[in-house]
Amino acid sequence: MKPAPFAYLRPQGLQHALEALAADPGAKVLAGGQSLVPLLSMRLAAPSTLVDINALPGLDRVWADDDGVHVGALARHADVLASPDVRRVQPLVSQALSQVAHATIRNRGTTVGSIVHADAAAEMPMVITLLGGSVTVASTAGERTIPAEELYAGPLESTLRHDEVAVHATFPALAPGEGVGFAEVARRHGDYALVGVGAVVRIDGDDVVSARAGYLSVSDVPTVVDLTETWGDHDAAAHRALSALDPADDIHATAAYRAHLVRVLTARVLAAAYDDARTRASAGRDRDDG
């Protein structure tokens, strides 16, 4: 299948890109193309102009600072996955990214593109929401930062305006006492998950002071559930999670099976995050002692 006709621009500077977007309400940003190009080819999308941002300078950086991990709009999933900074500062990003698609797609697809594409079956929108991160966007009117909890409006719909380019995303660093876990069930390796769950658990000594889980593929927008109060009670945790979620039937799985996976994976991931928090805490103590 071949796309419908479109104009193609490959601006060399951000300002040009922003002007091009502002000039044509039918224009769309092209990043890694791993979601957009299939939509074009199947003629499910027919933008009048494609503004290819791949030539924009300086957007491919991945860096860490006190705030956490920052990922530029042209950093590929593979770059982020390979970054030791990311793994150290916010390991949930690396864990979840290893489940995103396949190597060839991770080599082209961008993490920021995935975040703004707003697919509730995709890992990164859930991760940035669970971690309380943000996305910085630019337009001819200037820059603004959108907190993750305000980023998603509906299925495949972000709150970016059509003339905005996301320039980078920020994932907060893992805080002391925190541990993370991630698990998903997909039909084939690298497929979008039938259900995926990420968790952040914070401990203080032996006590769990916070437990939060984020869910993939069981809601219209990435959904985070606070499970602190149900800690230690699998049934109660699953019940609470499911009351916030809306598992649906499709050709790959029934709603009942998805709900079951929510139960199973919530328990697995909370346990993994708790273990991770304990391990980090004791490693931290060892470091402090030594």
Ligand X SMILES: Cc1cc2nc3c(=O)[nH]c(=O)nc-3n(C[C@H](O)[C@H](O)[C@H](O)COP(=O)(O)OP(=O)(O)OC[C@H]3O[C@@H](n4cnc5c(N)ncnc54)[C@H](O)[C@@H]3O)c2cc1C
The reply to whether 34 sits near ligand X by the rule CB under 6 A is: yes
User: Of 34 and 223, which has the nearer Cβ to ligand X?
Assistant: 34
Q: What are phi and psi of 9, to 5 degrees?
A: -125, 140
Q: For the residues of 169-217, what is the DSSP string, one character each?
A: EEEEPPPTTEEEEEEEEESSTTSPEEEEEEEEEEEETTEEEEEEEEEES
Measuring CA to CA, how many Å separate 124 from each of 18, 155, 208, 232, 265? 25, 15, 25, 27, 18
User: Of 122 and 237, which has the nearer Cβ to ligand X?
Assistant: 122
Give the residue, chosen from 20, 28, 195, 240, that forms a contact with ligand X under the rule CB under 6 A: 28
In one-letter notation, the amino acid at residue 111 is T
101's contact among another protein, ligand X, none, with CB below 5 to 8 A by partner kind, is ligand X
Shortest Å distance, C-beta 227 to ligand X:
23
The reply to whether 35 sits near ligand X by the rule CB under 6 A is: yes
- Choices 4-12, 80-88, 160-168, 173-181 (CB under 6 A): range interacting with ligand X: 160-168
Contact set with another protein (CB under 8 A): 1-5, 38, 42-43, 102, 185, 187-191, 194, 251-254, 256-257, 260-261, 264-265
241's contact among another protein, ligand X, none, with CB below 5 to 8 A by partner kind, is none
In 10 A of CB 290, how many CB atoms?
5
Residues 194-253 that bind ligand X (CB under 6 A): none
The reply to whether 113 sits near ligand X by the rule CB under 6 A is: yes
The reply to whether 192 sits near ligand X by the rule CB under 6 A is: yes
Shortest Å distance, C-beta 273 to another protein:
18
User: Of 79 and 178, which has the nearer Cβ to ligand X?
Assistant: 79
CA 264, 220, 160, 146 dihedral sign is negative
**Rounded Cα distance, 198 and 203, in Å:** 17
Measuring CA to CA, how many Å separate 228 from each of 2, 146, 241? 50, 26, 11
Which residues fall within 8 angstroms of residue 5, CB to CB, at 6 or more apart?
A: none
- Decide: helix, strand or coil at residue 93: helix
x/- string (CB under 6 A) for ligand X, residues 62-101?
-----------x--------------------------xx
- Decide: helix, strand or coil at residue 21: helix
User: Of 1 and 289, which has the nearer Cβ to another protein?
Assistant: 1
Q: Are 240 and 230 in contact (CB under 8 A)?
A: yes
The reply to whether 105 sits near ligand X by the rule CB under 6 A is: yes
Q: Which helix (H) or strand (E) holds 44?
A: none
Q: Which residues bind ligand X (CB under 6 A)?
A: 28-36, 53, 73, 100-101, 105, 109-110, 112-114, 116-117, 122-124, 160, 165-166, 190-192
